[in-house]
Amino acid sequence: MAAEKIYRASTTAPVNIAVVKYWGKRDAKLNLATNSSLSVTLSQDDLRTLTTATCSSSYTGDDSLTLNGAPSDITGARTQACLRELRSLRQALEDADAALPKLSAMPLRLVSENNFPTAAGLASSAAGFAALVRAVADLYELRSLPTDLSLIARQGSGSACRSLFGGYVAWRHGTQADGLDSRAEQVAPASHWPQMRALVLVVSAAKKGVSSTSGMQQTVGTSDLFGERVARVVPKHMDAMEAAVAARDFASFAEVSMKDSNSFHACCADTYPPIYYMNDVSRAAVRAVEAINEAAGKTIAAYTFDAGPNAVIYYLEENSGPVVGTFYGLLRGTEGWKDEAKSYSSSSIQLDEAVSSIVKGGVSRIIMTGVGEGPTKTEQHLA
């Protein structure tokens, strides 16, 4: 008897960092958002999840997930929702064509690895769920468009839906109760703005804060300022951001990014009890960016912060001198610099002593990266 075939597909998927933030669900089960969001997909050369999905009728037992070498819980409602939806799409194909192997009935084995450490403090749930959904969709040879797959990834982790695309990606919050219009779409590809770069300052010893899922619902439930953000601030920021990206207007891109990050963290501080993701190191990074812009006489760098203290600083390659140079000047001994960083240090600007010392003492790692592609099929397999 022939050995039973093992079906396999591997994909890499990216991390994304929002410049107009998702914070607040209007439906927790389907992960529908109170407002739209827009993100920049970071380059997979620097940050990516690689996932291999296999299935076989020779497998016994339940689906399994191995994450960075260790068994991971696959029974959670979110992961189950993704797998259920994907199986259902595969089953529809099998029902329509009896010749297709019944992959939907076989146990799945998923093996996933990040090329960046957990210590980087970069939430990997977006890249992880995007990779899972893409890998299984490829395994199942689904015909769904990425925007349709984003509906599934969204149910795993809201921001994961944006990692189904490269470049500049919007998650339209939608209004339907069934969530079918709450999906991601690409606003512009990475190639649209080749000069865009990102510098991540990983803040050391950061104690794990309130989980995003829990935190955002506390904000929805208790912040009196939040309604204004949803009704007026985010729509204004989304329009301005899309226009800025289309026009490659960095000053506007930066201003909206900084304002939206501030607005999101303000709503967290207005939550009861208050949620504080940024710390004194984060705020020193804000001051450093302001000083860089002040010295340049125009906005050449933007800060943004997610649900944690790490700073993500966007800038254009042509301004690497003052931007990278200034942080390299403070943090030359810190892990993560690319070789080119050293060449910019002569363009560093002088920072306030207190700001310098807080940044120096508080940043444990650097990640230099750019804008990249969405999930990419690979022949590199983990299983």
Beta strand spans in the chain (E): 7-14, 16-20, 25-27, 32-33, 37-41, 48-55, 64-67, 70-72, 108-114, 168-172, 183-188, 196-203, 301-304, 311-316, 363-370, 376-378
The helix/strand/coil state of 245 is helix
Are the CB atoms for 17 and 123 separated by under 8 Å? no
Out of 188, 286, 295, 296, the residue judged to bind its own copies by CB under 8 A: 286
274 binds its own copies (CB under 8 A): yes
Instruction: Give least dist CB 294 to its own copies, A.
Output: 10
Out of 141, 280, 335, 340, the residue judged to bind its own copies by CB under 8 A: 280
- CA 13, CA 128: separation in Å to the nearest integer? 7
Are the CB atoms for 53 and 132 separated by under 8 Å? yes
Nearest to 202 by CA among 115, 123, 269: 123
Site for its own copies in 157-216 (CB under 8 A): 207
- Per CB under 8 A, which region of 21-29, 169-177, 242-250, 263-271 contacts its own copies? 263-271
Instruction: Give least dist CB 225 to its own copies, A.
Output: 4
Nearer CB in complex with its own copies: 233/366: 233
Nearest to 26 by CA among 170, 220, 186: 220
Instruction: Give least dist CB 232 to its own copies, A.
Output: 7
- Per CB under 8 A, which region of 131-139, 154-162, 259-267, 317-325 contacts its own copies? 259-267
233 binds its own copies (CB under 8 A): yes
272 binds its own copies (CB under 8 A): yes
DSSP 154-196: HHH-GGGGGGGSSSEEEEE----TT-TT-EEEEEE-GGGSTTE
Nearer CB in complex with its own copies: 43/293: 293
Out of 102, 143, 236, 298, the residue judged to bind its own copies by CB under 8 A: 236
- Per CB under 8 A, which region of 28-36, 82-90, 224-232, 342-350 contacts its own copies? 224-232
Nearest to 229 by CA among 254, 253, 261, 255: 261
How many chain residues interact with its own copies (CB under 8 A)? 31
Nearer CB in complex with its own copies: 65/278: 278
Neighbouring residues of 3: CB distance < 8 A, sequence distance ≥ 6: 58
> What is the β-pairing status of strands 32-33 and 37-41?
unpaired
290 binds its own copies (CB under 8 A): yes
- Per CB under 8 A, which region of 64-72, 210-218, 261-269, 327-335 contacts its own copies? 261-269
Out of 61, 71, 273, 297, the residue judged to bind its own copies by CB under 8 A: 273
Nearer CB in complex with its own copies: 264/328: 264
Out of 283, 334, 376, 383, the residue judged to bind its own copies by CB under 8 A: 283
Neighbouring residues of 211: CB distance < 8 A, sequence distance ≥ 6: none
252 binds its own copies (CB under 8 A): no
Out of 276, 296, 321, 345, the residue judged to bind its own copies by CB under 8 A: 276
Are the CB atoms for 206 and 281 separated by under 8 Å? no
Tell me the one-letter amino acid at 356.
S
141 binds its own copies (CB under 8 A): no
Out of 27, 178, 228, 318, the residue judged to bind its own copies by CB under 8 A: 228
262 binds its own copies (CB under 8 A): yes
Instruction: Give least dist CB 116 to its own copies, A.
Output: 26
259 binds its own copies (CB under 8 A): yes
Nearest to 40 by CA among 167, 130, 153, 127: 167
Instruction: Give least dist CB 262 to its own copies, A.
Output: 5
Q: Give me the torsion for CA of 189, 190, 193, 199, rounded to 10°.
A: 140
- Interface with its own copies by CB under 8 A: which residues? 207, 223-225, 227-229, 232-233, 236, 255, 258-259, 262-263, 265-267, 269-274, 276, 279-280, 283, 286, 290, 354
